[in-house]
Amino acid sequence: MSLLRTKTIEQSIADTDEPEYQLKKRLTALDLTVFGIGVIIGAGIFTLTGRAAQAYAGPGIAISFIFAAICCGLAALCYAEFSSTVPVSGSAYTFSYFSLGEIFAWIIGWDLLLELMLGASVVAQGWSTYAALFLDQIGLGWPDSIGPESDVNVLAMLLVIVLTILATIGIKESLRVNLALVAVKLFVVLFVIIAGLFYIKSSNLTPFIPPSVPAPDGDVTITTPLFQAMFGFTPSTFGVMGLVSGASLVFFAFIGFDVVATTAEEAKNPQRDLPRGIIGSLAICTVLYVAVCIVITGMVKYTDISSEAALAEAFRSVGRPGFATLISAGAVAGLTTVVLTLMIGAARVVFAMSRDHLVPAKLGKTHPTFGTPYRLTLGIGVVVAIVAGVTPIGKLEEMVNIGTLAAFTLVSLAVPLLRKRRPDIKRSFTVPGNPVVPILAALICIYLMLNLSIETWLRFAIWMVLGFVVYALYGYRKSRVGQTERTGEVTKA
């Protein structure tokens, strides 16, 4: 039996009609766009902007965001083609199953699990920082012993628990809350841009791209980007290499658009609405990101930017503590939507894998009333809460990025392959410039991956080895496609 066995597109679509694994089609184009904006605008603006500017790129972090956006934009075109052609839960996992084969589907599914669960944990930690700051600003406070800097971040864990319950009740109900919080978040982001314009100092933006600074003694360490270590470049930050390293980090800020594709099966008109939701949310957020970067680095010298609560602290530094309170409140609302959306996305990916029996099938059964994969949602919520509660802040972002970039690479390469293998399929949206655009998207993703640290690559290797062990011991033997291959009969979910 081949590791490259594929699941047909027809079977993927037919599986969506099985009663115990059937999701309700309730989402419109507006829901999908809000869904995308809700998850994209979050950690990138409220937490990562300051950290990346301070450590890698200075004011040039705006260029890093543009570079990351171009990479995501090319990948978004590939996602839009797949999700509108085959509107089935699972996003890149499902796309790769019928285009590349089962082993690649498993790799991507395992990567997406890393991306979405760790992403939710990272953002929950960022949320706890702003929440503690906001509570302090309004005079309530939060005990340091169970706050963001403590050994157990109870504040982050409480958020995840509440959102897990909400995601279990239903996706439409979740999106109603999401819509309200996204409105608050957009108001705050626009407020930061407009109000911040009055406090920009041109001296803070000079030099826009700070000169390259070598690492201490020029030694290669575990935190050196792999690309620099492989090709003998002197380890450094800032300069051109700093812009690329910054892009590799702030790439985390754009991971949300691919989560839209995980809800394909729940869209009312996926052929029309999914491309709009994916591409529209990415375009809106890119413009806002770049504007915020310029404002923040113009208000505060990049060397003095807060790495934890950049926006609020920027206004505090110019004598506007009231503005800082408003921004903290917006960040609390905004980051809430990100955690919620990432957890919903993680549940939908594992739901698709359970329907294919690559993980235990019982996990994926939907609730008869709520219409959600409740067992998976609850289980993922527990894991995310634990990781967010006990992992030191700032240690997970790059792990999220490398998993995402690996998935983007394979999805991009799958587009020209499926065009060649199945030219007969009706495609309501097609990637322009095939195969050049998908291949370019894959190459840019690989380059950004190489600019992540050696430490991140080592952790990623361990995660992948663990994934291959799980697949070898369970997924390969239990796979529905494998059962069909052995018996010649299509196995029911």
CATH for 456:
1.20.1740.10
What confidence score (pLDDT) does residue 310 get? 76
What confidence score (pLDDT) does residue 21 get? 59
Q: Inter-axis angle of helices 397-421 and 436-450, to 10 degrees?
A: 160
| Confidence label for 188 from pLDDT (cuts 50, 70 and 90) | confident
What confidence score (pLDDT) does residue 218 get? 58
Find which of 7-21, 80-94, 282-296, 298-312 is predicted with most confidence, using mean pLDDT.
282-296
Closest CA to 479 of 21, 91, 2, 112: 2
In a domain, 461, yes or no: yes
CA angle 257-453-445, nearest 5°?
35
pLDDT at residue 491 tops 60: no
In a domain, 396, yes or no: yes
pLDDT at residue 13 tops 70: yes
Both structure tokens of 190? 């626009």
In a domain, 2, yes or no: no
* Neighbour tally for 32: CB within 10 Å: 28
Per-residue pLDDT averaged across 149-172, rounded?
86
What confidence score (pLDDT) does residue 474 get? 93
| Number of domains the chain contains | 1
Both structure tokens of 99? 């285009």
pLDDT at residue 96 tops 70: yes
Q: Where do runs of H (alpha helix) occur along 300-396?
A: 310-317, 321-355, 374-390
The whole domain housing 244 covers 9-487
**Strand partners of residue 213:** 237
Per-residue pLDDT averaged across 313-332, rounded?
83
What confidence score (pLDDT) does residue 157 get? 94
Backbone angles phi and psi of 267, in degrees to 5: -85, 140
Percent of the chain at pLDDT above 90?
15
Per-residue pLDDT averaged across 267-292, rounded?
82
pLDDT at residue 298 tops 80: yes
Per-residue pLDDT averaged across 306-325, rounded?
80
In a domain, 342, yes or no: yes
Cβ-count burial 340-354 (b if 16+ within 10 Å, e if not): bbbbbbbbbbbbbbb
Per-residue pLDDT averaged across 455-474, rounded?
92
| Confidence label for 217 from pLDDT (cuts 50, 70 and 90) | low
What confidence score (pLDDT) does residue 175 get? 63
pLDDT at residue 383 tops 90: yes
In a domain, 4, yes or no: no
Q: Calculate the dihedral angle through the C-alpha atoms of 135, 140, 143, 146, rounding to the nearest 10 degrees.
A: -40
pLDDT at residue 22 tops 70: no
In a domain, 223, yes or no: yes
In a domain, 3, yes or no: no
| Confidence label for 339 from pLDDT (cuts 50, 70 and 90) | confident
Whether the CA torsion 56, 57, 59, 61 is positive or negative: it is negative
| Confidence label for 385 from pLDDT (cuts 50, 70 and 90) | very high
**Strand partners of residue 27:** 267
* Neighbour tally for 490: CB within 10 Å: 13
What confidence score (pLDDT) does residue 183 get? 83
What confidence score (pLDDT) does residue 43 get? 62
In a domain, 493, yes or no: no
